[in-house]
């Protein structure tokens, strides 16, 4: 099992892991395969009412490669193309859970994005606005968007965590001197979960309020690995899942106090 994202279903009953060959589902301690095409999903992200993704079509599907931007409103059974098919494959894509704003990193010009950079759409990809992104100086590893305020976006980079309150036009440094690999806006809208690496993997929960307290979360033993993706159950916020670069996955029911391993190096674990 490869890991190209991590998300919960809107009802909180399924943890979804998109991969090279469709979407793996973890539910009630057991693994299964999501109904629907076995596409190679990249940049997979969920909102309350839809999945968004990029990537490459399954063999024999007769769809144009790469996808550009696609959307599903039936839990991944069917997908609708939203443009840029045959042009762009967005590996770094993030959505706002309630507002459906979509941010992407674009690495080469296409018919809707005249130059590389950070772009945002609130029209399901019909129109895109390029963000100025002043303040970002190093490689962006990950994006995350506030669940209810589409103008607030976080960028994890090689030298820290940056936050913008104006749709990515200006970024300010929030966490310095560490390589940030992934981040997730808590669905309470008041915290950021941050995966970083400085000699060892770190997971922290950062308050967005003034004087933001930074709570370090105890991770399971990762053995020269680090957290690549973070997701939160929308119906039980104390349940979170993490997936690592070496394709292991863990779930916590108590906001990170304890973890249960559900995949080890790509091999699934369950009941």
- Cα–Cα distance measured from residue 9 to residue 60, given in angstroms and rounded to the nearest whole number: 27
Could you tell me if 95 and 46 are in contact, meaning their C-beta atoms sit under 8 angstroms apart?
A: yes
Q: Tell me the range of 14-23, 29-38, 57-66, 101-110 where mean pLDDT is highest.
A: 101-110
Asked if the model's pLDDT at residue 234 lies above 70, the reply is yes
Higher-confidence residue of 21 and 140: namely: 140
Asked if the model's pLDDT at residue 4 lies above 80, the reply is no
First CA to last CA across the chain, in angstroms? 18
Reported pTM: 0.95
Asked if the model's pLDDT at residue 35 lies above 90, the reply is no
> Of the given ranges (63-77, 151-165, 246-260), which has the lowest mean pLDDT?
63-77
- Cα–Cα distance measured from residue 105 to residue 154, given in angstroms and rounded to the nearest whole number: 13
The whole-number average pLDDT for the span 181-193 is 97
- Cα–Cα distance measured from residue 1 to residue 91, given in angstroms and rounded to the nearest whole number: 18
Q: What pLDDT, on the 0 to 100 scale, is given for residue 19?
A: 79
Question: Left if phi > 0, otherwise alpha if psi is -120 to 50, otherwise beta: which for 168?
Answer: left
Q: What pLDDT, on the 0 to 100 scale, is given for residue 60?
A: 80
Asked if the model's pLDDT at residue 27 lies above 90, the reply is yes
pLDDT band at 223 (very low <50, low <70, confident <90, very high): confident
Could you tell me if 206 and 175 are in contact, meaning their C-beta atoms sit under 8 angstroms apart?
A: yes
- Cα–Cα distance measured from residue 17 to residue 167, given in angstroms and rounded to the nearest whole number: 28
Asked if the model's pLDDT at residue 1 lies above 70, the reply is no
The whole-number average pLDDT for the span 221-233 is 95
The whole-number average pLDDT for the span 10-34 is 91
Q: What kind of fold does domain 7-196 have according to CATH?
A: Methylamine Dehydrogenase; Chain H (2.130.10)
| Share of the chain residues as helix, strand and coil, in percent rounded to the nearest 5 | 0, 45, 55
Q: Read off the pLDDT of residues 169-181 as tens digits, 9 standing for 90 and up.
A: 999 999 999 999 9
Q: What pLDDT, on the 0 to 100 scale, is given for residue 265?
A: 80
Q: What pLDDT, on the 0 to 100 scale, is given for residue 211?
A: 67
The whole-number average pLDDT for the span 43-49 is 95
Q: What pLDDT, on the 0 to 100 scale, is given for residue 36?
A: 82
């Amino acid at each position: 099992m490869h890991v190209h994202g991590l998300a919960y279903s809107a009802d909180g009953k399924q943890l979804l892991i998109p991969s090279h060959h469709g979407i793996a589902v973890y539910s009630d301690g057991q693994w299964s395969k999501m109904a629907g095409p076995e596409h190679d999903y990249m940049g997979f992200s969920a909102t309350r009412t839809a999945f968004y993704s990029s990537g490459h079509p399954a063999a024999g599907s007769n769809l144009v490669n790469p996808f550009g931007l696609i959307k599903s409103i039936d839990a991944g059974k069917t997908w609708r193309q939203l443009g840029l098919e045959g042009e762009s494959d967005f590996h770094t894509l993030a959505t706002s859970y309630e507002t459906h704003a979509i941010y992407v990193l674009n690495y080469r010009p296409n018919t809707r994005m005249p130059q590389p950079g950070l772009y945002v759409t609130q029209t399901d990809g019909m129109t895109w606005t390029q963000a100025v992104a002043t303040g970002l100086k190093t490689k962006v590893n990950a994006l995350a968007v506030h669940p209810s305020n589409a103008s607030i976006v976080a960028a994890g980079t090689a030298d820290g965590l940056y936050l913008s309150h104006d749709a990515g036009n200006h970024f300010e440094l929030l966490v310095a001197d560490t390589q940030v690999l992934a981040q997730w806006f808590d669905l309470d809208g008041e915290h950021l979960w941050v995966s970083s690496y400085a000699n060892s993997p770190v997971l922290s929960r950062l308050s967005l309020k003034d004087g933001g307290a930074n709570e370090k979360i105890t991770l399971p033993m990762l053995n020269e690995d680090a957290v690549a993706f973070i997701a939160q159950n929308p119906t039980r916020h104390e349940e979170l899942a993490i997936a690592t670069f070496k394709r292991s996955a863990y779930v916590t029911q108590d906001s990170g106090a304890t973890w249960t391993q559900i995949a080890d190096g790509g091999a699934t674990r369950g009941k």
